[in-house]
Amino acid sequence: MTTQDLTGKGGLDVFPGGERRGSIRFVLAIALALIAAATGLLFVGRGEAEPYVLGLLAVLGMVGVFSLLATATGILRFAGGEASPMYRRVLDDAFDGIVVTDPNGRVVYANPAYCQLVDAADLSDVRPVERVFIGDPDVSEAVYRLLKAAREGRRLQEEVRVNGFSGEPARWLQMRVRPLGRSGADARHTVWTVADVSRERERQENVFQELQHAIDYLDHAPAGFFSVDGTGSVGYVNATLAEWLDYDLAEVGSGGLQIADIVPANGAALLTATASQPGQVKTEVLDLDLKTRSGKTLPVRLYHKVAFGADGAPGASRTLVLNRARTEGADPQRAAEVRFMRFFINTPMAIATVDRAGRIARNNGLLAGMFQGVVAADARPEGRSILAVVAERDRPALEAAIVKAARGQGDIPPVEAALAGEQERWARFWVTAVEEEGDQEAAIVYALETTEQRALQKQVDQAQKMDSVGKLAGGIAHDFNNVLSAVMMATDFLLNAHKPTDPSFQDIMQIKQNANRAAALVRQLLAFSRRQTLRPQVLDLGEALSDISMLLRRLIGEKVALDVRHGRDLWPVKADLSQFEQVIVNLAVNARDAMPDGGRLTLRTTNVPEIESRASAPKGMPPGDYVLIEVTDTGSGIPPEIIDRIFEPFFSTKEVGKGTGLGLSTVYGIIKQTGGYVFVDSEIGSGTTFRIYLPRHVPTPEETEAAAALLAPVQAGPGEARTAAADHTGQGTILLVEDEEGLRGLNARGLASRGYTVCEAGNGAEAIELIDAGQKVDLVVSDVVMPEMDGPTLLKELRKRHPDLKIIFVSGYAEEAFAKNLPEGGQFSFLAKPFTLKQLVAAVKETMAS
């Protein structure tokens, strides 16, 4: 291998000498071949050698032409041309040390900068990078990674600190490694670059120290500083502000502190609700309160700077904080200003000053928080507009109020308007004039959100409407019960007077059947008005639903699939079993009608503990332990415009003759009278879900003892194996109190036909007169609703005269509807209207025998 001496700017190089030797050999080989060809032609005759000479000249001509073409296109370059010395000078004059190694790690080239860097005097002193720095323990790991990258043909860069040579101070070196070429023989060689970056490192350390000094000054400056990113997380708080807010600076730096932790809600909305054009930088001056860790307030003035990105989204803010509490005492005017700004920012009503066009000049925190999603999005170049927070249909009303205020008009009526946005929100706006010249502030707008108030008012109106309709339905049902009682009693007399073979017997039976159907409709009205008589019992809803599953499958038909899912360990509830079954049947029938082409009806039960009901209970339902019954169908759904009316009696979307409109009203009444709640969710095309919440029943000690007694074995005597037939004859004196004369006469006739002596009274006052006149009675059968003296008052008066007198109340209302008006401990029996003669006689006989 031929090398050059290390002199001047020359470097150590083996490639150029090798290339020259290869080129000379190639030229000599061609020359020898041409000489041999010419010598051979000398021994051939002139005539015979002429074709060979011409052929040789043709070949040489072609080689020459192609050589010229390859040289022109750069494919062929002459050794020793101008390119190689130029590249050589570039490498030799480079500031960074460059060394090339072969696959065995031997140095094949090193420029003067590398030789000076490693203090090499001649070729024998030039060592590869790993041999120079591998002895330094702080550098060996980085060098190992570079060697590994060199073997794998990868590029890699490392920055290391090395001890200086010959007593020089430590230096920072930047080492790079890369393969020489992508293919061919060069790919087996590796280029190492070593650069001294000590000065750059020194400059970085100086900048870091200056930055540290600035941070130290910023931390202990007489003003506070903090920074918040776009998500509301506090990224920086200086020591002064941390001390004011009673926070540990290390704790703040660990993350987790939010803007809401140091700024109250209204102020935080002002900081986060700013809107601007993309790329703009905005600085605002805000007077508001910060809150300390203990919850106390700190009045401050903020210089809030925030930059907006290309999409208009706010970036990290930079905020200067001045403590107003330290300066307000010395300046009364400033103290008054601080108090006013605190009042303005923290007032519980949204306030904004606007110009004639409705553009917001200033606003408090509540307005920014209330309308954050709308005002912040309204980043028009001319400024935010108060009109943007209002739905488009209500903007003219608010705009007209602002125009009146700008003209100086007073007593402007408030504007009730829907707010813009996807959610339904409402607010009431009051607009007053500003007595100042100019267009900057033409009016003051006060806003109060009324969404929750409107929702509550809607619920109250709905409840009042349902209660009014219920009272009307209950009153109608009571009057109908009196009429039906007379009809049913009269049909009993007619049936007793006619034999089954009589031609009119079937007509009388038809009258009785229609009276029974009418009585069923009246019971549905009473169910809606919550005045029907219930016989509640402790139920296991899982068993109750299983018992009626076969009935439901027949009702919904084959096109609809029934899926019943029982919750585990359901709590007991107390309800009327037959009425609960009526609720499920009504909902199932409605679901079937909503799925004419088939679908799925799902009944699901589960327990809802109190803690869960507190978190997710629908509005209007108090927290507690409930058992939930969900009835879900995949039908057509209920339109939103009628969903609030579905529980009203006689409201139906079905065709005439295909429904009474009492199904869902009956469901509503039964559930409410049971103490539960019913809610509905529906979506057009996706189906409907009714959710019924029944309160959990906790057995009383008396109920527990009664249940144990029922489980105890009972030994029946020989004569008790068969129940005796009912005896509908009797004796005794009965006082019948009824204001309906026709019904009273029929009841008296029926009781007299069974052997009882009957005294009649038109109301409670007449009954008391008979008792005071010395009439002896064994039982009083009285209506509840009567003129002059009603049933509860009659009971009180009778108890004063005869504490042990037995009483039966008959009414079209439920027993619970009037029992609360009776004296505590008042004993009585109850018979619901309408009733048959057989039911009346049975109740009389049972009460007299008790």
> What is the three-class DSSP state of 445?
strand
The pair of structure tokens assigned to 115 is 């030789």
Q: Are residues 28 and 105 in the same domain?
A: no
Question: On the CB side of 118, how many CA atoms lie within 13 Å of its CA?
Answer: 26
The CATH number of the domain holding residue 640 is: 3.30.565.10
Q: In what order do the strands lie in the sheet with 107-110?
A: 12-13, 107-110, 97-101, 190-196, 171-179, 156-162
Nearest to 4 by CA among 122, 145, 178: 122
Q: Which residue has the tokens 């529980």?
A: 647
Q: Are residues 359 and 491 in the same domain?
A: no
CA–CA distance, 450 with 456 (Å, rounded to integer): 10
Q: Please list the alpha-helical segments (H only) found in 557-642.
A: 577-593, 610-616
Strands 107-110, 156-162: pairing is unpaired
Residue 193 in domain: yes
Nearest to 798 by CA among 778, 815, 817: 778
Q: Are residues 581 and 513 in the same domain?
A: no
DSSP, res 446: E
Beta carbons of 522 and 484 less than 8 angstroms apart:
yes
Residue 607 in domain: yes
> What is the three-class DSSP state of 179?
strand
The CATH number of the domain holding residue 479 is: 1.10.287.130
Q: What integer pLDDT is reported at residue 605 of this predicted model? A: 92
pLDDT(308) > 60: yes
The pair of structure tokens assigned to 575 is 């309800």
CA–CA distance, 98 with 92 (Å, rounded to integer): 9
Q: What is the mean pLDDT of residues 786-805?
A: 84
Q: Are residues 622 and 562 in the same domain?
A: yes
- 649 compared with 145, residue with greater pLDDT: 145
Residue 691 in domain: yes
Q: Which residue has the tokens 């009693």?
A: 489
pLDDT(154) > 60: yes
pLDDT, tens digit, for every residue of 616-643?
A: 777 778 888 999 999 999 988 888 888 8
Nearest to 353 by CA among 429, 445, 430: 445
Size of the chain, expressed as the number of residues it contains: 850
Domain that holds residue 418: 347-455
CB contact set of 484 (below 8 Å; sequence gap of 6+): 515, 518, 519, 522, 833, 834
Nearest to 317 by CA among 354, 262, 367: 262
Q: What integer pLDDT is reported at residue 83 of this predicted model? A: 43
- List, as one string, the DSSP characters of 20-51: HHHHHHHHHHHHHHHHHHHHHHHTS-HHHHHH
Q: Are residues 756 and 834 in the same domain?
A: yes
Q: SS3 sequence, 3-24?
A: CCCCCCCCCEECHHHHHHHHHH
- List, as one string, the DSSP characters of 472-492: HHHHHHHHHHHHHHHHHHHHH
CA–CA distance, 724 with 675 (Å, rounded to integer): 39
CB contact set of 807 (below 8 Å; sequence gap of 6+): 779, 780, 781, 782, 795, 798, 827, 828, 829
Residue 381 in domain: yes
pLDDT, tens digit, for every residue of 44-84?
A: 666 676 777 777 777 777 777 777 776 666 565 554 444 45
Q: What is the mean pLDDT of residues 259-265?
A: 77
Q: Which residue has the tokens 């080989």?
A: 29
- 145 compared with 340, residue with greater pLDDT: 145
pLDDT(150) > 60: yes
Q: Which residue, of 417, 433, 455, is where some domain finishes?
A: 455
- If you average pLDDT over each of 10-24, 234-248, 719-733, which comes out highest? 234-248
Q: Which of 92-106, 283-297, 584-598 has the least mean pLDDT?
A: 283-297
pLDDT, tens digit, for every residue of 563-610?
A: 999 888 889 998 878 778 888 888 888 888 888 888 999 999 999 998
Nearest-10 crossing angle of helices 663-674, 577-593 = 150
Q: Which of 432-446, 651-665, 796-810, 825-839 has the least mean pLDDT?
A: 651-665
Q: Are residues 518 and 540 in the same domain?
A: no
CA dihedral sign, ordered 494, 496, 497, 499: positive
Q: What integer pLDDT is reported at residue 655 of this predicted model? A: 54
Model's pTM, two decimal places?
Answer: 0.43
> What is the three-class DSSP state of 290?
strand
Q: Are residues 592 and 623 in the same domain?
A: yes
Confidence of residue 146 (pLDDT cuts 50, 70, 90): confident
pLDDT, tens digit, for every residue of 319-335?
A: 888 777 665 556 677 67
CB contact set of 579 (below 8 Å; sequence gap of 6+): 527, 532, 534, 670, 674
- Report the DSSP beta bridge partners of residue 289: 299
CA dist 594 to 278, 563, 580, Å? 52, 17, 22
Residue 216 in domain: no
Nearest to 368 by CA among 298, 288, 430, 436: 288
**Main-chain dihedrals φ then ψ at residue 117, nearest 5 degrees:** -65, -40
Confidence of residue 15 (pLDDT cuts 50, 70, 90): very low
Beta carbons of 808 and 783 less than 8 angstroms apart:
no
Residue 12 in domain: no
CA–CA distance, 233 with 136 (Å, rounded to integer): 45
Nearest to 444 by CA among 347, 350, 336: 350
Q: Which residue, of 425, 455, 485, is where some domain finishes?
A: 455
> What is the three-class DSSP state of 449?
strand
Confidence of residue 710 (pLDDT cuts 50, 70, 90): very low
CB contact set of 585 (below 8 Å; sequence gap of 6+): 548, 551, 552, 555
Q: What integer pLDDT is reported at residue 699 of this predicted model? A: 78
Strands 779-783, 806-811: pairing is parallel
The CATH number of the domain holding residue 169 is: 3.30.450.20
Q: Which residue has the tokens 């009037």?
A: 818
Q: Which of 23-27, 116-120, 769-773 has the least mean pLDDT?
A: 23-27
Nearest to 252 by CA among 268, 233, 269: 233
CB-based burial of residue 543 (10 Å sphere; 0-12 exposed, 13-18 middle, 19+ buried)?
exposed
Residue 448 host element (H or E) = strand 443-449
For the beta carbon of residue 212, count every other beta carbon within 10 angstroms: 10
Q: Which residue, of 202, 237, 271, is where some domain finishes?
A: 202
CA–CA distance, 599 with 557 (Å, rounded to integer): 11
CA–CA distance, 367 with 498 (Å, rounded to integer): 82
Strands 443-449, 426-433: pairing is antiparallel
The CATH number of the domain holding residue 755 is: 3.40.50.2300
Q: How many helices (H) and strands (E) does the chain have?
A: 28, 28
Q: Which residue has the tokens 């072969």?
A: 102
End-to-end CA distance of the chain: 133
Residue 11 in domain: no
Instruction: Please report the beta strands in 654-708, taking only residues with DSSP state E, as ranges in sequence order.
Output: 677-683, 687-695
Q: Are residues 754 and 837 in the same domain?
A: yes
Calculate the CA 567 to chain-centre distance.
26
Q: Are residues 432 and 461 in the same domain?
A: no
Q: Are residues 555 and 505 in the same domain?
A: no
The overall average pLDDT reported for the chain is 76
- Report the amino acid identity of residue 42: L
Beta carbons of 831 and 813 less than 8 angstroms apart:
no
Q: Are residues 489 and 510 in the same domain?
A: yes
Q: What is the mean pLDDT of residues 73-100?
A: 66
Q: Are residues 546 and 693 in the same domain?
A: yes
Domains of the chain: total: 7
CA dist 89 to 9, 92, 112, Å? 8, 5, 11
Nearest to 321 by CA among 242, 388, 265: 242
Residue 3 in domain: no
The pair of structure tokens assigned to 688 is 């409907």
- 404 compared with 706, residue with greater pLDDT: 404
Q: What is the mean pLDDT of residues 76-102?
A: 69
Q: Which residue has the tokens 């009483």?
A: 807
- List, as one string, the DSSP characters of 82-139: SHHHHHHHHHHT-SSEEEEE-TTS-EEEE-HHHHHHTT--SGGG---HHHHHTT-HHH
> Taking the CA atoms of the chain, what radius of gyration do you get in angstroms?
51
